Amino acid sequence: MRWETQRLEKAKQIIKMYPQKRSALGPLLYLAQDKDGYISNESIVEISSLVGITEVQVQSVASFYSMYKQEPTGKYLLSVCKSISCEISNSSEVIESVKEFTGLSNNETDDQNLFTYESVECIGACGGAPAVQVNYETIEGLTPDKAIDLCSWLKETEPKVIVADELQEKFGGVKSFDWAIEDNTGTSSPVPGFQTYDTLKEKK
Amino acid sequence: MSDKVTFTVDGKQLEGKQGQLLIEACEESGIHIPRFCWHKRLDPVGMCRMCLVEIDTPRGKALVPSCTTQITDELSVETESEVVKKAQEGVLEFLLINHPLDCPICDKAGECPLQDQTMAYGPGESRFIEEKRHFEKPIPISDIVLLDRERCILCARCTRFSEEISGDPLIEFIQRGNKTQVNTFPDEPFKSYFSGNTVQICPVGALTATSYRFKARPWDLKKVSSTCNCCSLGCSVELNVSQNKMLRILGEDNEYTNQGWLSDKGRYNFEYLHSTNRLLSIHSKENENFENINISEANEKITKKIQELGNPDIKFIIGANSTNEEYFVINKFANLLNRNEFLGKDNSNVYFADDHISNGYFGDQYENATFEDLDSSDAIVVWAEDIKDNLPVLYLRIKKAVKNGVKLVIFGHTNTALESLADLYIGSEVISNNFEIQKELSNIKELKNIINGKKVTTIIGKSTPLQQKKSLDTLIDYLQKVSDLKILNCFSKANTFGALQQIDQLKGLNEFCTEYENSKKNIVFTIGANPVNASFFGSQIKDILQEADYVISLDIFKNETTELANLILPTTAFGEKEGTITNMEMRVMKQNKILPDPGSTLSEWEYLVMIAKSLGEDINYENVSEINNELVSQYKTTVNLPTFDNLNKPSNLFGILHEKEINLNTNDVEKNNISLLMVKRLYGDSSTQINSQSISMLGSERFIELNSITLNKYGIQSNVATLTQGSASFFVNIKINNFLPDNLVIAPINRRGFEKLDPTKEFDIKETKNMKELSVN
């Protein structure tokens, strides 16, 4: 299926930000992932014609990075960090509690297509370990109980857009950065990334 | 600073050039460093780590990959120290973790760099006891190439080739880490004109070609160097034969011409040699049926016929695949018949199987270029037929030159495939659909900026036979005036230049048709030519051959032309005959014989000498070297003659550049109204290709190209349509090509049935429901 006009417009906006078209590949793949929850072959074809490289070159990049999903995920992708800083801050129990709540093991999606669970390497939130990402929006300073609260809240309310700040306030603890970026429209933001702590407030 | 660098390798003082890679500098001094990923024609990547060497750095000794390290003055290198040996053993042990040890059934075994280097540098045994990774074995990545991902060692040679050299990156690394594999995108096969090169440079048996798979072991192959005759580029090749069967053609790295690469046509167009359809015996037509006769009967028939007809007009239509020696004998034979006044003296009777040959730019006022000039000039100007399809390896040379900073100017409308490389593409705003120049060239500012006062090499020839030569003259005049110009005349068919050099005066098929006189008694020889197919004059020639009193065809296959012959003489083909050929730089190179003559075939010259003798002519050659000796004795100089001895010298890849006077004096075509541009594609319906199993289907697609405005004019929505002209009607695929001018439609001439189309007449394109819709409704 072809991309809808709005998504194409956004893609063109993103491409304009780079001196070479193909440099926009990364953010365009986020757009693709936002569309289907994974990078579909149809999206690869679309991107290939947008930036003027072959399909297989797009696929090469898309399949290299583990955060570009190659298969559909559930509505909420739960990525729990298992790296060293989180591990010494008790992430293994957070992992256990999320696994138990969802009944999933690594890289599995439940039958309702609600949750996909994965344990991941460092997500760069060591200052607020242990940390979890929901659809790549980061929540820091979790405890095993808060993690369960987070999951059950997601299950009950099924929010349309995940906003890091909101979840952080509800379930998080110590935090290292202000993860929210100005354009809070989920994974389709133009340049994925984060601003350092408090910069968002200054801007406002 | 001088560009010479002195460095030490294993205690020996060596010299190299500034900026040279260590592995290359060592190679040139005779020190071999093992490698998998490094290839001298590709950019270095340092993927495989096999070429690790120890160098002195300010922080002590360090292991570095020699393929990504440039030499510097007083660099000290160890290539055989204990540390290096341990590193090499380690790298090989790692590579063999996942590489299957299926050498006994692997085609590469015996010439496999991984096998050889494991023997030479490997640890001898592995500590790895776990399961190796598994993939489906093998998967087809195109019609002619298969990929075994288990054997792949991820050196990236194939992916780099497809991106850097051929410019069609349809294979890439997918996934990462332990899952990394080379693959294509689903439903986007590795459809490249150059895909066979990846098979040749693969350092393991991961990429194999359908034509060679399981056919032979490398140590059983008999090998000989030769020169490819698929186009007039003259690529150096190595012919591999086992049990008298040609099994493989490899590219040889010839700095002057192909630099190691071949097109897939040149590489895989050989299976026809052993096709069951080959003509192996003499056929004579008796009462509309062909009967086998022997050679003396055939000879008798010909002599009798010539004498019986009294004073017949004898004409020759020759193809492009003969050797210079054969053309020499054809010319002599034709002249002898001339002298006997079978034919007026000032009348040439040899016609090349090509429509409207243009006169080209030969002679003292033009400087002939070589391929090396492409690299050393400031700009390349191209006005010719489709280079990528007709001279594929020349396309690679142009691409390489452009990569190194040479400016490229393309004149429309046949070379749209080169547009993405070009600095300036001159299309419909300057050139009409009839290939006339509509604007003063000196008024094109961009062109002026690129060529004025610069060293320019031009590749020049008619875009289509129906083009008038006038516009080429205008361009050449202009370029000569403003730049330092060298010229590559572009005639793309095999040994065209050999024919031009050896035949006193060559003409085209249009002259054949106009000069043929029905009222006379006529004998026509067709020699390796099939003018009935793939010529604008096909139907006219068909009528002529039907009317002629006697037609003698020398060929390797039955085809549309031999069907009309009274006598068919089977001839030898590529690899079965020795001789020289001349490429488009006028470089004379050697073709070698490695296969025996199949069946009762003879070389073209052998037939002609035989016939001449029985006509009482004084023409006598025992073998092809004699012809070669006489041929070179007619050159004006005595140095660097293209004798077999000179060309056979070991590693003589330069060939011999010899300009023999070329005398072309054809009339320009009259102005045409071109609405359908007939372009020759790389793959088509030639009898050699359709009898080569592996590539026989590659030329079957029927398609037309046009721009979207023209497409709209015909009101076509889908990507399939019906092309009709008179009684001819074709179901065609549509390719949009927006570099084409409005109202110009490109169709391939060498696809089955397309020869019926007349490029100057009206045609129509109608929408066709595609198959899906048809089956639904």
DSSP state string for A41-92:
HHHHHHHHHHHTS-HHHHHHHHHHSTTS-SS---SEEEEEE-SHHHHHTTHH
Could you tell me whether strands B282-286 and B424-426 are parallel, antiparallel, or unpaired per DSSP bridges? unpaired
Nearest to B381 by CA among B348, B426, B340, B316: B426
Interface of B with A in 186-215 (CB under 8 A): 186, 188
**Neighbour order of strands in the sheet with B579-582:** B579-582, B587-591, B656-657
Q: What pLDDT digit, counting tens, does each position of A62-83 carry? A: 999 998 999 998 889 999 999 9
Nearest-Cα distance to chain B for A41, in Å, is 8
Q: Which of B375-384, B385-394, B600-609, B633-642 has the least mean pLDDT? A: B633-642
- Tell me the C-alpha distance between B434 and B468, whole Å: 8
Give chain A's end-to-end CA distance (angstroms, integer): 39
Element of type H or E holding B765: strand B764-767
Q: What are phi and psi of B696, to 5 degrees?
A: -65, -30
pLDDT band at B770 (very low <50, low <70, confident <90, very high): low
3-state secondary structure of B417: helix
pLDDT at B341: 54
CB pair distance less than 8 Å for B188 and A56:
yes
Mean pLDDT of the B19-30 span: 95
- Tell me the C-alpha distance between A174 and A140, whole Å: 6
A114: tokens are 């609600």
Instruction: For residue B420, give the chain A residue with the closest CA.
Output: A52
Structural domains of chain B, with CATH: 4-95 (3.10.20.740), 105-110+128-271 (3.30.70.20), 282-357+496-609+642-657 (3.40.50.740), 371-483 (3.40.228.10), 676-776 (2.40.40.20)
CB pair distance less than 8 Å for A59 and B185:
yes
Mean pLDDT of the B309-315 span: 85
Q: What are phi and psi of B101, to 5 degrees?
A: -95, 60
pLDDT at B669: 85
pLDDT band at A191 (very low <50, low <70, confident <90, very high): very low
Residue A25 near chain B (CB below 8 Å):
no
Q: Which of A17-21, B450-454, B482-486 has the least mean pLDDT? A: A17-21
Q: What pLDDT digit, counting tens, does each position of B136-160 carry? A: 999 999 999 999 999 999 999 999 9
- Residue of B168, B185, B195, B736 to mutate, testing the A interface (most A Cβ within 10 Å of its Cβ): B185
pLDDT at A198: 37
- Tell me the C-alpha distance between B560 and A203, whole Å: 80
| pLDDT averaged over every residue in chain B | 92
DSSP letter, residue B496: H
Instruction: For residue B170, give the chain A residue with the closest CA.
Output: A56
**pLDDT at residue B311 tops 80:** no
Cα distances (angstroms) measured from residue B185 to each of B172, B190, B688: 9, 9, 32
B658: tokens are 């010899």
CB pair distance less than 8 Å for B173 and A44:
no
**pLDDT at residue A200 tops 70:** no
Q: What pLDDT digit, counting tens, does each position of B644-660 carry? A: 988 888 767 888 888 77
pLDDT band at A1 (very low <50, low <70, confident <90, very high): low
- Tell me the C-alpha distance between B586 and B509, whole Å: 23
Residue B170 near chain A (CB below 8 Å):
yes
* Residues A141-159: b if buried by 16+ CB within 10 A, e if exposed: bbbbebbbebbeebeeeee
E strands, chain A, are 76-81, 108-109, 115-120, 132-134, 137-139
Query: What is the distance of C-alpha B139 from the center of its chain?
Result: 27
Strand partners, B63: B54
- Tell me the C-alpha distance between B512 and B188, whole Å: 45
- CB-based contacts of B750, cutoff 8 Å, min separation 6: B534, B680, B681, B684, B685, B686, B699
pLDDT at B29: 93
- Tell me the C-alpha distance between B755 and B763, whole Å: 14
3-state secondary structure of B99: coil
pLDDT band at B338 (very low <50, low <70, confident <90, very high): low
CB pair distance less than 8 Å for A59 and B171:
no
Residue A107 near chain B (CB below 8 Å):
no
pLDDT at A203: 36
CB pair distance less than 8 Å for B170 and A54:
yes
- Nearest by CB to residue B176, choosing from A53, A54, A64, is A64
pLDDT at B728: 85
- Residue of A51, A63, A66, A71 to mutate, testing the B interface (most B Cβ within 10 Å of its Cβ): A63
- Tell me the C-alpha distance between B39 and B59, whole Å: 30
Give chain B's end-to-end CA distance (angstroms, integer): 78
Which ranges constitute the DSSP H helices of B485-623? 496-502, 509-515, 538-547, 604-614
**pLDDT at residue A189 tops 90:** no
pLDDT at B291: 94
Residue pair A45/A73 in contact by the 8 Å Cβ criterion: no
Nearest to B547 by CA among B310, B754, B344, B315: B315
- Tell me the C-alpha distance between B263 and B193, whole Å: 6
A63 contacts in chain B (CB < 8 Å): 174-176
Q: What pLDDT digit, counting tens, does each position of B67-86 carry? A: 999 999 999 999 999 999 99
- CB-based contacts of B151, cutoff 8 Å, min separation 6: B99, B100, B102, B106, B108, B204, B205, B206
CB pair distance less than 8 Å for A57 and B172:
yes
Sign of torsion over alpha carbons B438, B439, B445, B448: positive
- CB-based contacts of A30, cutoff 8 Å, min separation 6: A187, A188, A189, A192
Residue bearing the bigger pLDDT, B145 or B750: B145
Residue A41 near chain B (CB below 8 Å):
yes
Q: What pLDDT digit, counting tens, does each position of B378-416 carry? A: 999 999 999 999 999 999 999 999 999 999 999 989 999
Q: What pLDDT digit, counting tens, does each position of B528-555 carry? A: 999 998 788 888 999 999 999 999 999 9
- Residue of A60, A61, A66, A70 to mutate, testing the B interface (most B Cβ within 10 Å of its Cβ): A60
CB pair distance less than 8 Å for B169 and A41:
no
**Neighbour order of strands in the sheet with B60-65:** B12-17, B4-9, B76-78, B52-57, B60-65
% of residues, chain B, pLDDT over 70: 97
Nearest-Cα distance to chain B for A47, in Å, is 13
Please state whether the peptide bond connecting residue B413 to the residue before it is cis, i.e. omega within 30 degrees of 0: yes
Structural domains of chain A, with CATH: 5-64 (1.10.10.1590), 76-188 (3.40.30.10)
Residue pair B296/B311 in contact by the 8 Å Cβ criterion: no
- Tell me the C-alpha distance between B304 and B298, whole Å: 10
Compute chain A's Rg from CA coordinates. 17
pLDDT band at A188 (very low <50, low <70, confident <90, very high): very low
* Residues A25-46: b if buried by 16+ CB within 10 A, e if exposed: bebbbbbbbbbebbbbbebbbb
pLDDT at B772: 52
pLDDT band at A199 (very low <50, low <70, confident <90, very high): very low
Nearest-Cα distance to chain A for B736, in Å, is 14
- Tell me the C-alpha distance between A172 and A19, whole Å: 39
- Tell me the C-alpha distance between B353 and B491, whole Å: 12
pLDDT at B675: 86
Nearest-Cα distance to chain A for B744, in Å, is 25
pLDDT band at B771 (very low <50, low <70, confident <90, very high): low
Q: What pLDDT digit, counting tens, does each position of B664-705 carry? A: 878 888 888 888 998 999 999 889 999 999 999 998 889 999
Instruction: For residue B173, give the chain A residue with the closest CA.
Output: A60
Residue with tokens 């050697």: B590
pLDDT at B769: 65
Q: What are phi and psi of B558, to 5 degrees?
A: -70, 140
- Nearest by CB to residue A56, choosing from B175, B176, B185, is B185
**pLDDT at residue B430 tops 60:** yes
Mean pLDDT of the B178-183 span: 95
Q: What are phi and psi of B718, to 5 degrees?
A: -85, 180
**pLDDT at residue A84 tops 90:** yes
DSSP letter, residue B591: E
CB pair distance less than 8 Å for B172 and A44:
no
- Tell me the C-alpha distance between B610 and B620, whole Å: 9
- Tell me the C-alpha distance between A197 and A201, whole Å: 9
Residue with tokens 């008999």: B222
pLDDT at B339: 60
B169 contacts in chain A (CB < 8 Å): 53-54, 56-57
Residue bearing the bigger pLDDT, B22 or B658: B22
Mean pLDDT of the B333-345 span: 66
B510: tokens are 């249009």
Query: What is the distance of C-alpha A122 from the center of its chain?
Result: 14
Residue pair B692/B275 in contact by the 8 Å Cβ criterion: yes
**Neighbour order of strands in the sheet with B245-251:** B222-227, B236-242, B245-251
Q: Which of A150-159, A195-204, B559-568 has the least mean pLDDT? A: A195-204
Residue pair A15/A50 in contact by the 8 Å Cβ criterion: yes
